[in-house]
Amino acid sequence: MIKAGIIGATGYAGGELVRILLGHKEVEIKWYGSRSYIDKKYAEVYQNMFELVEDSCLDDNIEKLAEEVDVIFTATPQGYLASILTEDILNKVKIIDLSADYRIKDVAIYEKWYKIEHKSPEFIEEAVYGLCEINRDKVRNARLVANPGCYTTCSILTAYPLVKEGLIDPDTLIIDAKSGTSGAGRGAKVPNLYCEVNENMKAYGVTTHRHTPEIEEQLGYAAGHDITVTFTPHLAPMNRGILATEYASLVKKEDGTFPTAAEIRNAYEKYYKKEKFIRVLEEGVCPETKWVEGSNYVDVNFKVDERTGRVIMMGALDNLVKGAAGQAVQNMNLLFGFKESEGLELVPMFP
């Protein structure tokens, strides 16, 4: 039984961490950190936790926390962890950071896209990008895990096998992603009001969304060289879920023909067949966000468009689970040698 602390426990990702950890046999939550609700009972902030969580919210004292727990989850605004992290803390406790602070290796790129100065670039090198299915072994030995973004997890996993196997030209990759509104957080802002989001679809952050360089870096590793992609996020009128529809040109084989659907399927199976949390759907079945809701699954599939020589790849996940808290717990399981799926055997809820 290990002890966990959460900094930022009252955001939606923090709330989901609590939901998942309550069902985890090896962990006890010892610290519900929330600057906005100090001393307020956690179950008053999230009434679903009534009679399940008796604790009150605490301030964000990471030094104290590092003494008391084995792992800290930081579900905090960009720049926060970078501004308080020290070698001393990392020597005492494992950290799984749900913010973007240590996801991008090139600090200049981080600072350009996030428009903030990085306060502790010295830890970037050692931070492990916690996309479990790709970096499983590295995660196991990490002190600091950079938990991937919601859009990025979905976008990368949907295209990874085809990039890795050289079946598509990564520079033609266009990612059109649709997200539920919990991805926008629990901040009280007019654009996130019910009446503004409901019955509405819109793109936002076009050409400027911060998950773009994260996708490019990780898929660049798979490609073996730097790549540039177009990524367009959209806000959809639903609580949870990300659907990524991804377009890329197939790379002709030496004989001048395009890869077949069977060859593409083989690539997906090569990387994902043994992965519990990635489901390659059967031919002709398009992923739907509702089929993974509440679970740690990513559902992926594809369709070859012979007329244009493109492949359309599709991936769906729950942005709060595999896109945030679920993957964070999966990383924790790797860090502490627990069964990787412990606490994550959540059956998707339908309807």
Please give the positions annotated as active site: 150
Task: Name beta bridge partners: 41.
Answer: 56
Q: In the bound complex, what is the minimum distance in angstroms from residue 183's beta carbon to a second copy?
A: 10
Which range of residues in 139-147, 149-157, 191-199, 250-258 is near a second copy by CB under 8 A? Answer: 191-199
Alpha-carbon distance values, 272 to 260, 298, 301 (Å): 18, 11, 11
Q: In the bound complex, what is the minimum distance in angstroms from residue 244's beta carbon to a second copy?
A: 10
Among 106, 201, 252, 253, binds a second copy (CB under 8 A): 201
Nearer to a second copy, 15 or 149 (CB): 15
Q: At what angle do helices 326-336 and 132-140 cross, to 10 degrees?
A: 30
Q: In the bound complex, what is the minimum distance in angstroms from residue 204's beta carbon to a second copy?
A: 6
Q: Is 197 in the site for a second copy (CB under 8 A)?
A: yes
Q: Which residues contact 48 (CB under 8 A, 6 or more apart)?
A: 19
Q: Is 22 in the site for a second copy (CB under 8 A)?
A: yes
Q: Is 104 in the site for a second copy (CB under 8 A)?
A: no
Task: Name beta bridge partners: 58.
Answer: 33
Answer yes or no: are the C-beta atoms of 174 and 219 closer than 8 Å.
no
Q: In the bound complex, what is the minimum distance in angstroms from residue 119's beta carbon to a second copy?
A: 27
Q: In the bound complex, what is the minimum distance in angstroms from residue 238's beta carbon to a second copy?
A: 5
Nearer to a second copy, 224 or 285 (CB): 285
Q: Is 77 in the site for a second copy (CB under 8 A)?
A: no
Nearer to a second copy, 140 or 276 (CB): 276
Q: Is 342 in the site for a second copy (CB under 8 A)?
A: no
At residue 90, the 3 state secondary structure works out as helix
Q: Is 225 in the site for a second copy (CB under 8 A)?
A: no
Q: Residue count at the site for a second copy (CB under 8 A)?
A: 83
Q: Is 196 in the site for a second copy (CB under 8 A)?
A: yes
Q: Which residues contact 180 (CB under 8 A, 6 or more apart)?
A: 236, 238, 239, 240, 241, 242, 289, 319
How do 310-317 and 242-249 pair as beta strands?
antiparallel
Which strands sit side by side in the sheet containing 94-97, from one edge to the other?
A: 27-33, 2-7, 71-74, 94-97, 144-146, 128-129
Nearer to a second copy, 64 or 189 (CB): 189
Q: Which helix (H) or strand (E) holds 176?
A: strand 174-179
One character per residue 171-190, x = contact with a second copy (rule: CB under 8 A)? x--x-x-x-xxx---x-xxx
Nearer to a second copy, 62 or 304 (CB): 304
How do 71-74 and 144-146 pair as beta strands?
unpaired
| Burial of 335: CB neighbours in 10 Å, binned 0-12, 13-18, 19+ | buried
